[in-house]
Amino acid sequence: MSNQGFKLDQKIDQKISFMEDAQATGEVAQVYDAWRAKSGRQNMPGILKCFSHRPDFLREVISFSDTVHFSEGHLTRRTKEAIASWVSWLNRCPY
């Protein structure tokens, strides 16, 4: 595989508008705060922020993601995390 011409710190044009962590107020801020408290991470990932215009749906996406990605099943959570990390690296997306 080659990553010719691609830098991880490369600026990418944003196609979907979303609410940044510092701009979040009301229900969006509540959802962001709950996710940060549960995950232990400082900032909401962009993949979740793209649902910031529908905080009710964002809650459902987070719940679904927790069930699918972070529960035991045919694959252990450790294996799922490893796959997610690898796919994120392939997509040049921080995980």
Instruction: Per residue of the chain (95 residues), give pLDDT as tens.
Output: 444 554 555 566 767 788 999 999 999 999 999 999 998 889 898 889 999 999 999 999 999 988 887 777 888 888 888 998 899 889 887 65
Assess if residue 3 is contained within a domain: no
Please tell me the total count of domains within the chain.
1
Classify residue 10: in a domain, yes or no. Answer: no
User: Does the residue 13 lie in any domain?
Assistant: no
Q: Does any domain span residue 37?
A: yes
42 in any annotated domain: yes
| Model confidence pTM above 0.75 | no
Coil, helix or strand at residue 41 = coil
Tell whether 16 is covered by a domain: no
CB 65 within 8 A of CB 71: no
Query: Domain span at residue 66?
Result: 21-90
Q: Report which of 34, 85, 88 is spatially closest to residue 61, judged by C-alpha positions.
A: 34
